[in-house]
Amino acid sequence: MKIIPNILLISVFLFLSCTSNDAQREFESEAYRNPSGITKTTAQGEITSTDNDDWRTSPYFQGLIEVSPPFQNPAQLGTAINFEIQVTGVQGVSGLDVRVRYPNGNLNNIYSSNNNPLEPGFTTFQVDPIALSQDGSDNLARGLHRIFFFDFNQRLISYGDIEVE
Protein backbone atom coordinates (compact mmCIF):
# COMPACT_ATOMS: atom_id res chain seq x y z
CA MET A 1 0.00 0.00 0.00
CA LYS A 2 2.91 2.40 0.56
CA ILE A 3 3.78 2.19 -3.12
CA ILE A 4 0.52 3.84 -4.27
CA PRO A 5 1.14 7.19 -2.49
CA ASN A 6 4.70 7.22 -3.84
CA ILE A 7 3.52 6.58 -7.39
CA LEU A 8 0.88 9.28 -6.99
CA LEU A 9 3.47 11.74 -5.68
CA ILE A 10 5.85 11.00 -8.55
CA SER A 11 3.02 11.35 -11.08
CA VAL A 12 2.02 14.75 -9.70
CA PHE A 13 5.65 15.90 -9.74
CA LEU A 14 6.12 14.79 -13.36
CA PHE A 15 2.87 16.48 -14.40
CA LEU A 16 3.89 19.76 -12.78
CA SER A 17 7.36 19.56 -14.34
CA CYS A 18 5.92 19.01 -17.81
CA THR A 19 3.44 21.85 -17.33
CA SER A 20 6.24 24.17 -16.22
CA ASN A 21 8.44 23.16 -19.16
CA ASP A 22 5.54 23.67 -21.58
CA ALA A 23 4.90 27.13 -20.14
CA GLN A 24 8.59 28.03 -20.47
CA ARG A 25 8.71 26.80 -24.08
CA GLU A 26 5.59 28.82 -24.93
CA PHE A 27 7.11 31.92 -23.29
CA GLU A 28 10.31 31.49 -25.31
CA SER A 29 8.35 30.97 -28.52
CA GLU A 30 6.52 34.25 -27.92
CA ALA A 31 9.80 36.00 -27.11
CA TYR A 32 11.36 35.17 -30.47
CA ARG A 33 8.54 36.70 -32.50
CA ASN A 34 9.16 40.03 -34.19
CA PRO A 35 8.97 43.10 -31.95
CA SER A 36 5.52 44.66 -31.89
CA GLY A 37 4.53 47.60 -29.76
CA ILE A 38 6.12 49.07 -26.66
CA THR A 39 5.28 49.84 -23.09
CA LYS A 40 5.54 53.63 -23.19
CA THR A 41 7.32 55.28 -20.28
CA THR A 42 8.36 58.81 -19.36
CA ALA A 43 11.92 59.89 -18.58
CA GLN A 44 11.04 59.42 -14.88
CA GLY A 45 9.86 55.83 -15.39
CA GLU A 46 6.11 56.45 -15.26
CA ILE A 47 4.19 54.00 -17.45
CA THR A 48 1.83 55.82 -19.83
CA SER A 49 0.66 52.81 -21.87
CA THR A 50 1.29 49.08 -21.59
CA ASP A 51 2.11 46.39 -24.13
CA ASN A 52 1.00 43.21 -22.37
CA ASP A 53 3.66 41.18 -24.20
CA ASP A 54 6.58 43.26 -22.87
CA TRP A 55 8.69 42.74 -19.76
CA ARG A 56 6.94 39.64 -18.45
CA THR A 57 8.95 37.24 -16.30
CA SER A 58 9.44 33.72 -17.66
CA PRO A 59 7.78 30.87 -15.77
CA TYR A 60 11.20 29.55 -14.74
CA PHE A 61 12.08 32.82 -12.96
CA GLN A 62 8.66 33.71 -11.50
CA GLY A 63 9.13 35.00 -7.96
CA LEU A 64 12.91 35.31 -8.36
CA ILE A 65 13.45 38.40 -10.51
CA GLU A 66 11.38 41.22 -12.00
CA VAL A 67 12.32 43.45 -14.93
CA SER A 68 10.66 46.87 -14.93
CA PRO A 69 9.83 48.54 -18.25
CA PRO A 70 12.84 50.60 -19.33
CA PHE A 71 12.55 54.35 -19.47
CA GLN A 72 12.29 56.50 -21.45
CA ASN A 73 10.52 54.47 -24.10
CA PRO A 74 10.43 55.56 -26.86
CA ALA A 75 14.06 56.56 -26.35
CA GLN A 76 15.80 59.47 -27.99
CA LEU A 77 19.26 59.33 -29.52
CA GLY A 78 21.71 61.10 -27.22
CA THR A 79 19.93 60.01 -24.03
CA ALA A 80 20.34 56.88 -21.93
CA ILE A 81 17.82 54.05 -21.65
CA ASN A 82 17.38 53.21 -17.97
CA PHE A 83 16.79 49.63 -16.86
CA GLU A 84 15.79 48.43 -13.42
CA ILE A 85 15.64 44.86 -12.16
CA GLN A 86 14.69 43.54 -8.76
CA VAL A 87 15.95 40.20 -7.52
CA THR A 88 13.23 39.04 -5.17
CA GLY A 89 13.89 35.35 -4.63
CA VAL A 90 16.14 33.58 -2.18
CA GLN A 91 17.35 31.21 -4.89
CA GLY A 92 20.20 32.64 -6.89
CA VAL A 93 19.88 34.01 -10.41
CA SER A 94 23.19 33.14 -12.06
CA GLY A 95 24.38 36.39 -13.58
CA LEU A 96 22.73 38.56 -16.21
CA ASP A 97 23.26 39.14 -19.92
CA VAL A 98 21.09 41.69 -21.74
CA ARG A 99 21.00 41.34 -25.52
CA VAL A 100 19.43 43.04 -28.51
CA ARG A 101 18.28 41.07 -31.54
CA TYR A 102 19.35 42.55 -34.86
CA PRO A 103 17.18 42.37 -38.00
CA ASN A 104 19.31 39.45 -39.27
CA GLY A 105 18.42 37.46 -36.13
CA ASN A 106 21.81 37.72 -34.42
CA LEU A 107 21.89 38.61 -30.73
CA ASN A 108 24.42 41.12 -29.39
CA ASN A 109 25.26 41.66 -25.74
CA ILE A 110 24.57 45.23 -24.55
CA TYR A 111 25.01 44.72 -20.78
CA SER A 112 26.35 42.08 -18.39
CA SER A 113 26.40 41.74 -14.63
CA ASN A 114 29.13 39.41 -13.44
CA ASN A 115 27.55 38.97 -10.01
CA ASN A 116 26.88 35.27 -9.68
CA PRO A 117 24.42 34.92 -8.14
CA LEU A 118 22.77 38.32 -8.57
CA GLU A 119 22.39 40.05 -5.23
CA PRO A 120 18.85 40.47 -3.86
CA GLY A 121 17.39 43.95 -4.24
CA PHE A 122 17.30 46.58 -6.97
CA THR A 123 19.90 46.95 -9.71
CA THR A 124 19.85 49.77 -12.24
CA PHE A 125 21.93 50.26 -15.36
CA GLN A 126 21.88 52.41 -18.48
CA VAL A 127 22.34 51.64 -22.16
CA ASP A 128 23.07 54.13 -24.93
CA PRO A 129 20.51 53.74 -27.76
CA ILE A 130 23.42 53.55 -30.23
CA ALA A 131 24.26 50.16 -28.65
CA LEU A 132 21.06 48.83 -30.25
CA SER A 133 22.46 49.55 -33.73
CA GLN A 134 24.09 46.72 -35.64
CA ASP A 135 26.76 49.01 -37.07
CA GLY A 136 26.88 51.79 -34.46
CA SER A 137 25.01 54.25 -36.69
CA ASP A 138 22.13 56.53 -35.75
CA ASN A 139 20.18 55.21 -38.71
CA LEU A 140 20.17 51.57 -37.57
CA ALA A 141 19.64 52.58 -33.93
CA ARG A 142 16.29 54.12 -34.87
CA GLY A 143 13.32 51.79 -34.90
CA LEU A 144 11.84 48.99 -32.83
CA HIS A 145 14.22 46.59 -31.05
CA ARG A 146 13.59 43.36 -29.12
CA ILE A 147 15.64 43.12 -25.90
CA PHE A 148 16.29 39.83 -24.07
CA PHE A 149 17.41 39.18 -20.49
CA PHE A 150 19.25 35.87 -19.95
CA ASP A 151 21.03 34.31 -17.00
CA PHE A 152 24.56 32.91 -17.51
CA ASN A 153 23.03 29.49 -18.23
CA GLN A 154 21.29 31.03 -21.28
CA ARG A 155 17.84 30.72 -19.71
CA LEU A 156 15.46 33.47 -20.83
CA ILE A 157 14.34 35.68 -17.94
CA SER A 158 12.34 38.40 -19.70
CA TYR A 159 12.04 40.30 -22.96
CA GLY A 160 10.45 43.43 -24.34
CA ASP A 161 10.61 46.06 -27.03
CA ILE A 162 12.28 49.46 -27.14
CA GLU A 163 11.70 52.08 -29.79
CA VAL A 164 14.41 54.59 -30.64
CA GLU A 165 13.41 57.83 -32.35
Work out whether strand 81-87 and strand 65-67 pair parallel, antiparallel, or are unpaired: antiparallel
Record the pTM: 0.86
What one-character DSSP code corresponds to residue 14?
Answer: H
- Residue pair 108/102 in contact (Cβ under 8 Å)? The answer is yes
pLDDT at 7: 52
pLDDT mean values, one per 10 residues, the chain (165 residues)? 52 47 94 95 97 96 96 98 92 93 95 92 97 96 98 97 98
- Residue pair 64/122 in contact (Cβ under 8 Å)? The answer is no
pLDDT at 19: 52
What span, in angstroms and rounded, lies between the C-alpha atoms of 140 and 124? 25
pLDDT at 3: 60
What span, in angstroms and rounded, lies between the C-alpha atoms of 9 and 22? 20
Residue-range domain boundaries for the chain: 3-164
pLDDT at 86: 97
pLDDT at 4: 54
Q: Count CB-CB contacts under 10 A for residue 145.
A: 25
Architecture in CATH for domain 3-164: Sandwich (2.60)
